[in-house]
Amino acid sequence: MSAVNPPVGPVAMSVWSQYYALTKPRVIQLIVFCALIGMVLAVPGVPSWHEVGVALLACLGIWLVAGAAAAFNCIIEKSIDAKMKRTAWRPTAKGELGDRQTLLFSGTLCALGSALLYVAVNPLTMWLTFATFIGYAVIYTLILKPLTPQNIVIGGASGAMPPVLGWAAMAGQVGPEALILFLIIFLWTPPHFWALALYRVEDYRKSGLPMLPVTHGNEFTRLMVLLYTFILLAACLLPFIYGMSSWLYLAAAIVLNVGFCLYGYWLWRDYSDLLARKTFRFSLIHLSALFAALLLDHYLLA
Give the pLDDT mean for 85-92.
Answer: 78
Query: Helix 176-199 crosses helix 247-269 at what angle (to 10 degrees)?
Result: 30
How many distinct structural domains can be found in the chain? 2
Residue 234's CB is within 10 A of a number of other CB atoms, namely: 11
Q: 143 and 49 in one domain?
A: yes
Q: 191 and 46 in one domain?
A: no
Residue 53's CB is within 10 A of a number of other CB atoms, namely: 12
Q: 33 and 104 in one domain?
A: yes
pLDDT tens readout for residues 31-76: 998 999 999 999 988 888 999 999 999 999 999 999 999 999 888 8
Q: How far apart are CA 254 and CA 236, in angstroms?
A: 8
Q: 224 and 163 in one domain?
A: no
pLDDT at 302: 56
Q: What is the mean pLDDT of the chain?
A: 89
pLDDT at 97: 82
What whole-number percentage of the chain has pLDDT above 70?
95
Q: 129 and 247 in one domain?
A: no
pLDDT at 12: 52
Q: 252 and 289 in one domain?
A: yes
Give the pLDDT mean for 248-254.
Answer: 96
Q: 34 and 164 in one domain?
A: yes
Instruction: Specify the CATH number for the domain of residue 84.
Output: 1.10.357.140
Give the pLDDT mean for 226-247.
Answer: 96
Q: Which run of H or of E encompasses 25?
A: helix 25-42
Q: 283 and 165 in one domain?
A: no
pLDDT tens readout for residues 214-234: 999 999 999 999 999 999 999
Give the pLDDT mean for 253-270.
Answer: 97
Residue 111's CB is within 10 A of a number of other CB atoms, namely: 13
Domain boundary among 174, 189, 204: 174
pLDDT at 301: 67
pLDDT tens readout for residues 149-175: 877 877 778 889 999 999 999 999 999
Q: 209 and 154 in one domain?
A: no
Asked if residue 189 lies in contact with residue 207, where contact means CB atoms within 8 angstroms, the answer is no
Domain boundary among 140, 174, 208: 174
Comparing 1 with 237, the larger pLDDT belongs to: 237
Give the pLDDT mean for 85-96.
Answer: 79
Q: 124 and 14 in one domain?
A: yes
N- to C-terminal Cα separation, the chain: 29
pTM, entire model: 0.87
Residue 96 pLDDT grade (very low, low, confident, very high; cuts 50, 70, 90): confident
pLDDT at 74: 86
Domain boundary among 174, 192, 211: 174
pLDDT at 9: 43
Q: 228 and 104 in one domain?
A: no
Give the pLDDT mean for 144-152.
Answer: 78
pLDDT at 1: 56
Task: Determine phi and psi for 271, rounding to 5 degrees.
Answer: -75, 145
Q: 153 and 4 in one domain?
A: yes
Q: How far apart are CA 59 and CA 166, in angstroms?
A: 8
Q: Is the pLDDT of residue 10 over 50?
A: no
pLDDT at 67: 93
Range of the domain at 214: 175-302
Spell out the residues 6+ positions from residue 110 whose beta carbon is closer than 8 angstroms to its own.
64, 65, 68, 69, 130, 133
CA distances from 21 to 13, 98, 294 (A): 9, 14, 30
Residue 79's CB is within 10 A of a number of other CB atoms, namely: 11
pLDDT at 44: 87
pLDDT tens readout for residues 106-130: 999 999 999 999 999 999 999 999 9
Spell out the residues 6+ positions from residue 231 whose beta carbon is closer than 8 angstroms to its own.
187
